[in-house]
Chains A and B, each alone.
Chain A
Amino acid sequence: MSVIELKNINKYFGSGISKVHVLHDVNFSANRGELILVVGPSGSGKSTFLTIAGGLQTPTSGEVIVEGKPIAQLSTAQRDKLRLNQIGFVLQSYSLVPYLKVKEQFTFVNKVKRQGNLNEAELAGLLKQLGIEQLTNKFPGELSGGQTQRVAIARALFANPDIVLADEPTAALDSARVAEVGKLFKELAETRDKAVVVVTHDTRLMQFADKAYRIMDGKMTETSVTKAAAE
């Protein structure tokens, strides 16, 4: 069963003559253990798709189903809970609280979400897997772009969500780092049994994906992984 599913999603912004149709009948599903890529150019609707999938915006029509439950039926508080417990966001920037040391980012999550987070040993394992175990006493301002991104990934995984949604996680990284993050997402999806959804315009990530979608002017089509990578 898919852990997250979008059915016939349409999203319009504005009204009257300024009305824009940003997502057209989008269908999407993701399973645990998979790295799913959504690739498209700037303005194609990737972020809109991701925020709808994460319950941050409501679609004009269509259904978002997380673990079998349509999220349209949830209250604001329940949606907060869903994002706290089942969804981990990794964003291009601002993902970390600037005045918390790396280890305190996790302490803070523990304070807000008291159960179901990784325990100390698991966190140590995760930090090791990400290669950031030495950075726990640093503030985000003291980290490089790649280190920041990996800490943000750790932050998202710490709450042990079923789904990880990442928006342009490689935007600030060079090619070598891109490959590293791609591998890492793939590995995290497999070893930790998560559905990892990455939206990006960066086709270099294609080779690591289990499944890929192409989004163009708000229309989403599934595409073969190898074909996309070849472009």
Chain B
Amino acid sequence: MYLALKEIRHEKLRYGLIISMIVLIAYLIFILTGLAFGLAGENTQAIDSWDAKSIVLNKDSNINLSQSVITSDQAKNAKLTSKQAVIGSTPVVAKDKKRAKVSATFIGAKRNQFVLKDLKVSSGRKARSSHEVVVDQKFKDEGYRLGDKITLNSSNDSYQIVGFTKNAKINISPIIYGTVSTWQSLRGMMNVKVVGSAIVSKTAKYHAKNSHLKTYSISSFISKLPGYSAQNTTFGFMIGFLMIISLIIIAVFLYILTMQALPIYAVLRAQGIPARTLVATVTSQSLILMVAGLVIGAALTAATASIIPIGVPMSFNIPVLTWISIGLLIMGFIGSAIPAQKIATVDPVKVIGG
């Protein structure tokens, strides 16, 4: 540790450069992770807020909520308790003369079932009639206010915004919570006997007892959200590659520095300094570099997070970032393995021989 710190202090420029590389990588990884989680969150926020374990969809819907329709006939034998709720979902464009259009997802549900019953409004109140809606905070960011009357798609019916709710997004689209009958009319199915798009259940083992309906776990439903898996895989790969790049950088730099200093290590070995002490030097240097890089990277990330525009989905999951930091530390540790091996096996005779 003594040698490690002394060398870093003496060679400020070299080590400063390595640290700045690690800072950039750590920063990039942190921001990407923040974005990955932010986007993932906007995909699943609403579903998470329902706290459901499973979902019943029409088995021909390809696990796509907006494609699924459950008819009254199919739902005939489905027993609904307080742990189940019917929802009808359809993409809509909401507009108000004075405001910008917003692409949204209309979710129709029943006021006596948990989706609407447990809905938390952040301002305003819950809907009392079918011409009142509660909408995601995004609408507020877009300039919509309580009392605004919106129309959906090309229908002439207007719906008054009576409440805003936070974290109500599904598949990155803000939700408009209304009634199932509104959903029915938006889908043009007023004269068809339908129940909704899906039945969400807080229990994992719920069955609707009809061969056309199938129960999916919420996690498999989420993984089938359009684009969701692809997005996560992309981020996962980017983060993984950055990890590997950080490993290569630290390994290469430490290797070069160690090879330059090998004669000194050889002499120290000749002087009886245990190999362990010298190996600890390079290992602790690697860890010091990593920790310094991570701390500065984290500080930059925090600074970025505080000035990021509202529209950018970013969410910092501390446990995950901690694991990523530990991962980078392990990379540093692995990166010092080759130089450490060089030091441990250095032959003093080679240097003294001259």
| Chain A residues with a Cβ under 8 A of chain B | 47-48, 50-51, 54, 56-57, 77, 80-85, 87-89, 91-95, 97-100, 104, 107-108, 111-113, 139, 155-156, 167-168
* B97 within 8 Å of A (CB atoms): no
Assess A91 versus B270: contact at CB under 8 Å? Given A56-B352, A111-B2: yes
Interface contact A50-B352, CB-CB below 8 Å: yes
Contact B6 A91 (CB under 8 A): no
Question: Do A47 and B353 contact each other (CB < 8 Å), given the known contacts A56-B348, A104-B6?
Answer: yes
Q: Is the CB of A92 within 8 A of B6?
A: no
Contact at B271–A83, with CB atoms within 8 Å? yes
Query: How far is it, in angstroms, between the C-alpha of A156 and the C-alpha of B273 when the chains are bound?
Result: 12
User: What is the CB-to-nearest-CB distance from A153 to chain B, in angstroms, rounded to a whole number?
Assistant: 13
Q: Given the interface contacts A47-B354, A50-B352, A97-B3, does A87 sit within 8 Å of B272 by beta carbon? A: yes
Chain B residues lying within 8 Å of A111, measured Cβ to Cβ, are: 2
| Consensus secondary structure, chain B interface | helix
Q: A94-B263, A98-B264, A111-B2 are in contact. Are A89 and B271 (CB under 8 A)?
A: yes
Q: Which residues of the partner chain B approach A57 to less than 8 Å between Cβ atoms? A: 349
The reply to whether B271 and A93 contact each other, CB–CB distance below 8 Å, is no
Select the residue from A92, A95, A99 with max chain B CB neighbours within 10 A: A99
* A168-B348 Cα distance, complex, nearest whole Å: 16
Q: Is B28 at the interface (CB under 8 A from chain A)?
A: no
Some 27 contacts from A to B, beta carbons below 8 A apart, are A47-B349, A47-B353, A48-B353, A50-B352, A51-B348, A56-B270, A56-B352, A77-B274, A80-B269, A83-B270, A83-B271, A84-B271, A85-B272, A87-B272, A89-B271, A94-B267, A94-B351, A95-B267, A97-B6, A98-B264, A99-B6, A99-B7, A104-B6, A111-B2, A112-B273, A139-B10, A168-B354
A47 CB contacts on chain B under 8 angstroms: 349, 352-354
B10: nearest chain-A partner, CB-CB: A99
Q: Which residues of A contact B275 (CB under 8 A)?
A: 80
Q: Contact between B272 and A97 (Cβ–Cβ < 8 Å)?
A: no
Q: How far, in angstroms, from A51 to B6 measured CA to CA in the complex? A: 29
Q: Could you say which of A85, A94, A98, A167 has the most chain B C-beta atoms within 10 Å of its C-beta? A: A94
Residues of B within 8 A of A50 (CB): 352
B11 and A99 within 8 A (CB): yes
Shortest CB-to-CB span from B13 to chain A, Å, is 13
Is B277 positioned at the interface, with any CB of A under 8 Å from its CB? Answer: yes
Q: Chain B residues with Cβ under 8 A from A139's Cβ? A: 10
**Which residue, of B2, B3, B6, B272, has the highest number of chain A Cβ atoms within 10 A?**
B272
| Known contacts A91-B267, A112-B277; A56/B349 CB under 8 A | yes
Contact of B354 among A56, A81, A92 (CB under 8 A): A92
Chain B 241-267 against A: per-residue CB contact (8 Å), 1 yes, 0 no? 000000000000000000000011011
The reply on B268 being an interface residue by CB < 8 A is yes
Q: Which residues of B contact A84 (CB under 8 A)?
A: 271-273
- Report Cα–Cα, A85/B272, bound state, in Å: 8
A97→B7 CA distance, assembly (Å):
9
If A80-B275, A92-B354, A108-B3 are given as contacts, then 9 extra A-B residue pairs at C-beta distance below 8 Å, sorted by A number, are A47-B354, A80-B273, A80-B274, A87-B272, A89-B267, A99-B3, A112-B274, A139-B10, A167-B352
CA distance A137 to B43 in the complex (A): 62
Inter-chain contacts of B266 with A (CB < 8 A)? 94
Residues of the B chain whose Cβ atoms lie less than 8 Å from the Cβ of A81: 272
Q: Indicate the member of A88, A104, A108 with the most B CB atoms within 10 Å.
A: A108
A216 to chain B minimum Cβ distance, whole angstroms, is 18
Give chain A residues whose Cβ lies under 8 Å from the Cβ of B10: 98-99, 139
Q: In angstroms, how far is the closest chain A Cβ from the Cβ of B4?
A: 10
CB neighbours (8 Å) of B272 from chain A are 80-85, 87, 113
B348 vs chain A, min Cβ distance (A): 5
Residues of B within 8 A of A83 (CB): 270-272
* Nearest CB of A to B5, in Å: 10
Residue of A whose beta carbon sits closest to that of B268 = A97
> A50–B270 Cα gap in the complex (Å)?
11
Closest 4 CB pairs of A and B: A84-B272, A83-B272, A99-B10, A94-B263
Enumerate chain B residues within 8 angstroms of A56, measured Cβ to Cβ: 270, 348-349, 352
Contact with A along B1-30 (1 / 0, CB 8 A): 011001101110000000000000000000
Min CB–CB distance A115 → chain B (angstroms): 14
Could you tell me the distance between the alpha carbons of A97 and B267 in the complex, rounded to whole angstroms? 9
Contact of A93 among B3, B274, B354 (CB under 8 A): B354
B2 contact set on A, CB distance < 8 A? 107-108, 111
Chain B CB count within 10 A is highest, among A48, A82, A83, A139, for A83
Chain B minimum-CB-distance residue to A161: B272
The one of B263, B264, B270 in contact with A54, judged by C-beta atoms closer than 8 angstroms, is: B270
B264-296 toward A: CB 8 Å interface, digit per residue (1/0)?
101111111111010000000000000000000
Which A residues are CB-close (under 8 A) to B267? 89, 91, 94-95
Residues of chain A within 8 A of B349, CB atoms compared: 47, 51, 56-57
